[in-house]
Structure 1
Amino acid sequence: MIYLLQNDVQTKLGNQVIRFINTIHSRAILHAYSQDQSGAEPYNINGNTFLHKFGRSLSQAKRLGGIFHVHGNHWVALYIDVDNEEIAYGDPADSDSTLAISEPALDKALRWFFSKHIPSLQALDQLDEVILPTARQDLSGDSWNCGIYSFNALSHAFFKDRPLLIHTSSDTAVAGDLARLDVLRQIIAHFNSSNSLTDQAAETQFNVAALLPQLDLKSTDTSLLTSKTICPTKVSAMVKVTSNKKKRKTNFLEEGPSTPVRSLESYLTPKFNVNKANSKRTRIDSTCDGEETLETTMPQGWTESETTQDTPLSHGRPRLGILDELTIEITTD
C-alpha cells in the first residue's frame, strides 16, 4: 500500500522533497538510539549503514510520513511537517492520543534521529505533538482494519482531496473492507500500467516481416543454394529426407528473375519422415557430388532367407528355435 502512496507523491508532488519511513527504519532507529544512549555504540552520522545513508537523505526533506507496526499486531501512521515543526500521530485504535503518549520510546528516538540529520530540527522538543485525523476502529467488532485506516490517514495528510474513511461500529466494518478492495484495484491497475510495453520498447520488438524485404535473395540465398562446393551432411539410417509430396513444375534453382519469391520456409525447411525399423541395417554415404551409395550389412548368424522372408521376428515375435530353447516340458502323473 505504501508503495502506491509513494508513487502518487512522486508523480503529483515531485517538486517537493518528501521521504517515507517504514517499520524497518523505525526499529533500526530505536536500536541506534538505545545503543547511543547507553554508550555501547555512539552514533556516527558519517557511518555507512543503510540507516546512516537514509538519515543523510533527510537533510533537505520538507515532509516525512510512514506507517509503523507496533505491539506486534497493530498499525499506526505518522506524518512530520518539517517547515511547520509538527509531528502528527494517528492511531486507529485510539484516535485521541499523541505519539508521546502512545509510543514514548519511539517519540524520543525519532526526535533524536531527526536532530542528527535535519539541520532545522536540532532541538529535541522542537516538534509540536498533534493528532493525525484517523478513522477509528471499534475493537469489539473490528480488529483488522488498523492497516487500511492508517494508510487512509496518511494519504489524506498528503492529499486533502482524499476523504477519510468512516468509523467502524460494533456491527459493521464495511468501510474498511471496501477500502481494501479499492487498494487491490489500484495495485492491479498500477501493475498493468507498469508492465505494458512503452512506445520505445514496442519499436524494438523482433519483427520477421519487417526484416524479410531487407534480404537479398538473388545475390545471397540463390548463390548459396546453387554452389557446387557445398557438401550435404550425412543422414542417419533411421531418418530420410524426402521432398514435398506435391510436385512442383519447376524448382527454385530453375526460376528466373521475374519469378515471384516464395516463402523461405518452402526452400530452407526440409521434411523428415522416420522409417519403420527393419531387420537390415542400412548405411547411407553421401558424397559432394550428391550421389548416395547404399551398403547393406546382415546381422551375424543370419541367412539370406531369414532376412528376406516374412519371419515371426519381423512382426515382433521370437523365432520358433528360440521358443524351443525357452520352453520347459511339464510332466504330470
Structure 2
Amino acid sequence: MATLKDVAKLASVDVSTVSRALNNTSYVHPDTKKKIYDAVEKLSYKPNLLAKGLRQGKRHTIGVVVPSINISIFGEIVQGIEIEARKLGYEVMICNTKDDPDSEEECLNRLRNGLVDGIIIASTGQNARLIKDIKGSGIEVVQVVRNQDKSISSVVADYYTCGYEATKYLVKKQCTNIGFIKGASDIIPYKERFRGYQKAIKQCGLKEHVVELVASNGNYFNDGYDGTMKLLEKTPDLDAIISVIDIQGLGVIRALKKKKKIIPNDVRVISLTGHSIGAMLETSMTSMEIPSKQMGEQATKMIVESIEADIENKPGQRHIVFVASLVERETT
C-alpha cells in the first residue's frame, strides 16, 4: 500500500508539501499540486482517514444500525438521517441487521472500532451492555424508533396510541372480530402497539384474536401471510386485521385474496406503521402514518449536538415522542 512518503518521492517534493496539498491547510503552487495529484492517482494512494480523524478529534461520520431499509419506515428514517447529516457536514455508514442480535453485535463492534463519532440505532434490545459500553467510551448514541434503554436518548413514536386508535377506528366501522398479528414482545414498539389494541378491545367488550409470529430473516411479508391464514383458521368470520407494519400488511392482503376475501367488504385491513408504498398499492392501505423522515432528522440533530458539545456542556438525556396520524384508504 502506498504511503505519503511514496507520493512525496514520486512527486519530488517534501512529505509536508504533500500533506499541505491534500489537506488544503496552506498554499501550494498549482503546478506542484498537479504533480502531487498525478502521483496520488498513479500510486492509488488512500490517506489514513482514521489517523487524520484522530488528529482532528472528529471523524464527522455517524453509524446507523437498523433492521432493514427495504420497504419499511427505516428506509425513510435513514433518508432523513442522511439529508440532515449532509447539511451538518457529516457522512453516514449504514448497517442492516435483519433484527439478528449477532449481526447487530458485529455491526456495533465494527463501528466502534472504525470511523464514527456517534451511532443512531434501532436496537434488538439484546446488546444493551455493549451499547452502554460504546457510549461510555465516548461515542455518542441515540436510539431511534425503539427506546430499549431509558438511560440513552431516543426518538420514537407513540406506539400505544397507534394500536389503540386503530382498533377504535375499526370498531366504529362496525368490526367485531378484529385480528391482530403481533410482533416480537421484547421489542418495545411491538409490545406497545399490542397494549393499545388490548386496551381498546377490552373497552369495547370484544374478544381478542391474536397470532404472534416473529419474522425469520426479516421476512415480514411471510409473517403477514401466515398470520392471516392462522387467524382465519381460528376465526373464519374475522372482519378486520391489524398488521404492525406495512410490509406485513402486504402479506395480509395477499392471504385474503388467496382466501377469496373481498377487501374491505369482508375484511378490513390497517397497518400500524405507515410507509409511502401503502398509498401506491392496487388496493391502497389504511395506516397509522409515522413522520419517519422527521424522526431521522431529529435523531441526527440530537447526536451531532452531543458530538460537537464540550464535555462540560453535553446535553442530558432527551426522549422525543412523535405522534402518528390515521390515513384512511381503500382497505377499510
TM over 0.5: no
Larger Rg: 1
